[in-house]
Structure 1
Amino acid sequence: MIDWLNYFPAFLLVFVRVTTFFVTLPLFSYRSVPANFKVGIAFFLSLIMAFSLDLPVIEIDGFYILLVLKELLVGLLIGLIAYMIMAAIQIAGGFIDFQMGFAIANVIDPQTGAQSPIIGQYFYIFALLLLLSVNGHHLMIDGIFYSYQLIDLTQGSLPMSDENVLEFVVQVVNTMFLVAFQLAIPIVGALFLVDVALGIVARTVPQLNVFVVGLPLKIGVSFIAILVSFTILFSLIYNLFEMMLYAMRGLMDLLGGM
């Protein structure tokens, strides 16, 4: 019992990192997941990891408070970098909605409480189902477990001002928009051709009201293009999951000073 009490401060550090990891991680951080479930699964995961890790004996003093803040920041950043990559799906939906004419009809995402594009939310639901079907949530939990091999519990600070960390974050944001463009380009490209055709029709047949015909035509073409390009979209989303795991690993390498 006395030996376990000696390791209790280190267990609290593990619990802080895992709990804050679930605050920003996709799928686990949503409002539909009860808070007591998040805390409970974080506690039991921390308990399992505490027996799997070689926990050091840490005294509770002023340096311990810095360690708690560091663990809190590590959990938030790792989950946030994964959420940024997954946000590419909703950004792609925003591109498609703008071209379809659905940009004015945003919906409230019940998971986050923020406004979300209709097509983006549609794609995001499929992405979450695909994430669960390929056990991506297991890989994300593995990421937080193996983070202790890269970012030690006794590490007192994080190199947040390092130019490599800033460059990595900028690269992740750049990749997010690039993947969003790749997801949206089949549908947006088809709608661009529809706009060109409507422009030609408006010049050749001035009596035809293009604005009345154009909107339902673009919506119909969009749905057909989405159905045709589903295979491409799923393959890109699957690559997005791999990119998310690599981004988490890369950030942990930099934060751990590797």
Structure 2
Amino acid sequence: MDELLSNFPAFLLIVVRVTSFFLMLPIFSYRTIPTSFKVGLGFFLSLIMFWGMDVPTLAIDSTYYFLIMKEAMVGILIGFVAYMLFAAIQIAGGFIDFQMGFAIANVIDPQTGTQSPLTGQYLTIIAMFFLLASNGHHLLLDGIFYSYQYIPLDQAWIHFGDGNLAEFLLKTFSLMFVIAFQMSIPIVGSIFLVDVGLGIVARTVPQLNIFVVGVPIKLIAGLVILFIVIGVLMSSVSHLFSSILTTMRGIMNILGGGG
């Protein structure tokens, strides 16, 4: 306890980074989780991290306020990168809904309070359960713990002006759409073939009202294909989690000056 009191400024910086990390991190940032739980988890996690690493002796002066802002920006940036890649599941669901005809109907996501596609919400819930079952949330917490190896507490600046950071964020943004496309292409491609078949039928049998018949056919075909390829989608989700950890490590290396 005496060590905590003597190094309280360093402990406060740890709390700022951890709580800022929770603001953007998947699962931990959802508003259905009580705020008191988030604050308590951040405090006790910061306490464990404080006892588990060598903290520098800091004084509360003008430089200390810059350290507080730096810690908040580091936590938000790392959590934002993880959330950006996790949002690929929602984008994949949007691609699927557009082909199936569900794009006109969105649902309110109780976790974020925003509208989300039906299939995207379904895949997100399954991916969330998969993440918890595989202890992926432990790996996310492990990432914020090892961030201090890349960005020390007493480092008063980070490489925001470095061109590598902008390039890395652009690559991460493009990777999000690539993963979403890879997840949705089995269903989107199959429904496209259904559209081609319906177009051929419309030309050969003009008496058939293809607009009335086509919507339920595409809907049934999409649900059947989704049921068939759901195992492949979860395999893609497991690769997505590894990409999240790799991306978090990469941005921490850039912010710490590793290039």
TM norm structure 1: 0.98
Q: Is 1:30 aligned with 2:14?
A: no
Partner of 1:213: 213
* Cα distance in 1 between the residues matched to 2:2 and 2:182: 57
The residue matched to 1:206 in structure 2 has which SS?
Answer: coil
Contact 1:6/1:58, CA 8 A, preserved across alignment: no
* Cα distance in 2 between the residues matched to 1:92 and 1:121: 10
Contact 1:19/1:42, CA 8 A, preserved across alignment: yes
Partner of 2:105: 105
* Cα distance in 1 between the residues matched to 2:48 and 2:110: 32
Partner of 1:228: 228
Contact 1:9/1:59, CA 8 A, preserved across alignment: yes
Q: Is 1:90 aligned with 2:105?
A: no
* Cα distance in 2 between the residues matched to 1:236 and 1:161: 34
Q: Which runs of 5+ in 1 are unaligned?
A: none
* Cα distance in 2 between the residues matched to 1:111 and 1:234: 21
* Cα distance in 1 between the residues matched to 2:190 and 2:183: 13
Quote the offset at 1:2 in angstroms: 5.6
The residue matched to 1:229 in structure 2 has which SS?
Answer: helix
The residue matched to 2:252 in structure 1 has which SS?
Answer: helix
Quote the offset at 1:6 in angstroms: 2.4
The residue matched to 2:157 in structure 1 has which SS?
Answer: coil
Q: 1:4 to 1:132 in 2, by over 3 A?
A: closer
Partner of 1:250: 250
* Cα distance in 1 between the residues matched to 2:2 and 2:29: 35
The residue matched to 1:116 in structure 2 has which SS?
Answer: strand
* Cα distance in 2 between the residues matched to 1:5 and 1:238: 42
> Which amino acid counterpart does residue 207 of structure 2 have in structure 1?
Q
Partner of 2:140: 140
Q: Which runs of 5+ in 2 are unaligned?
A: none
Quote the offset at 1:3 in angstroms: 4.6
Q: How does 1:1-258 map to 2 (within 5 A)?
A: 3-258=3-258
* Cα distance in 1 between the residues matched to 2:105 and 2:81: 28
* Cα distance in 2 between the residues matched to 1:140 and 1:55: 22
Quote the offset at 1:5 in angstroms: 2.6
* Cα RMSD, aligned residues only: 0.8
Give CA deviations for 1:30-75 in whole Å, capped at 9, x if unaligned: 0111000000010001001101111111110111000000000011
The residue matched to 2:87 in structure 1 has which SS?
Answer: helix
Contact 2:194/2:218, CA 8 A, preserved across alignment: yes
Contact 2:4/2:11, CA 8 A, preserved across alignment: no
Give CA deviations for 1:206-243 in whole Å, capped at 9, x if unaligned: 01000000000000000010011112101101000000
| Runs of 4+ residues over 6 Å off in structure 1 | none
* Cα distance in 2 between the residues matched to 1:214 and 1:2: 72
* Cα distance in 2 between the residues matched to 1:12 and 1:174: 35
> Which amino acid counterpart does residue 172 of structure 1 have in structure 2?
T
Contact 2:159/2:165, CA 8 A, preserved across alignment: yes
* Cα distance in 2 between the residues matched to 1:2 and 1:124: 45
Contact 1:89/1:120, CA 8 A, preserved across alignment: yes
Count of paired positions: 258
* Cα distance in 1 between the residues matched to 2:172 and 2:4: 41
* Cα distance in 1 between the residues matched to 2:15 and 2:59: 16
> Which amino acid counterpart does residue 68 of structure 2 have in structure 1?
V
* Cα distance in 2 between the residues matched to 1:117 and 1:7: 48
